[in-house]
Amino acid sequence: SDRYFRFYNKVIERVVQTKPDARIAVLGYGPCATPPEQTTIHDRICVFITTGADPRQFEKAGGTSAIYQYHLDGAYPTIRHYPHMIARFLRESKAVGGLGYYAEIHHNWAAGGPKVYVLSHLLWDVNSDVDALLDRYMRLAFGEQATAPMRAYFDRWEAIWEREQALLANPYDSIDNWKANQLRKFRHVTWDDIRFMDAALAIAKRARKTPRQKRRF
């Protein structure tokens, strides 16, 4: 990574001669996810640290940091619901001077909609109330009567994800086992979870909804 960051430094040093307010954004991915050992990064270079990375990992190397995260729900037979993790990640990044956020979002909207709704609001205000946003999403998407059971359904998926998260080396890794055996992705799901979620969906199904909310459900 020293070779890359020496090059980036040369570029920004020339750019600021004519555009003093300029910044350069680069990707901390692959070899460049490791901070340089011999080069201090120019303070006008913003490093987008890829998913699972520690927002503080470039803190001693200079520059400023940002987050590059993946929400690749399409490769999973389970629902990857982790809105509270996203909030913790963004808040920690901001606390160390993080400047931005970039995400690859490839998902099934029915599964990932609540998570992305929360994310979009956190990017405007990182201190937004995640639980209030989730309740609002459920109310708008599925109707007043279905709010509580749909919230319970998604909360259970978040609890399942948190069981997996507890075993990860990095708590911000959102795509663990992305290409792994599909059956292994059910290893944190129990029959109690299935029964609980089936009951929640049954209650939500009986709730009063508009025609659009019924289609969405």
The per-residue pLDDT string of the chain (217 residues; one tens digit each, 9 = 90 and over) reads 999 999 999 999 999 999 999 999 999 998 898 999 999 999 999 999 986 678 888 888 998 889 999 988 888 899 999 999 999 999 999 998 888 999 988 878 888 999 999 999 999 999 999 999 999 999 999 999 999 999 999 999 999 999 999 998 888 888 888 888 888 899 999 999 999 999 999 999 999 999 999 999 9
Neighbour count for residue 134 (Cβ, 10 Å)? 23
Neighbour count for residue 207 (Cβ, 10 Å)? 18
> Considering the entire predicted model, what is its pTM?
0.92
- Cα distances from 39 to residues 9, 30, 112, 161, 189, in angstroms, run 9, 18, 40, 38, 46
Q: Integer distance in angstroms from the first to the last C-alpha of the chain? A: 48
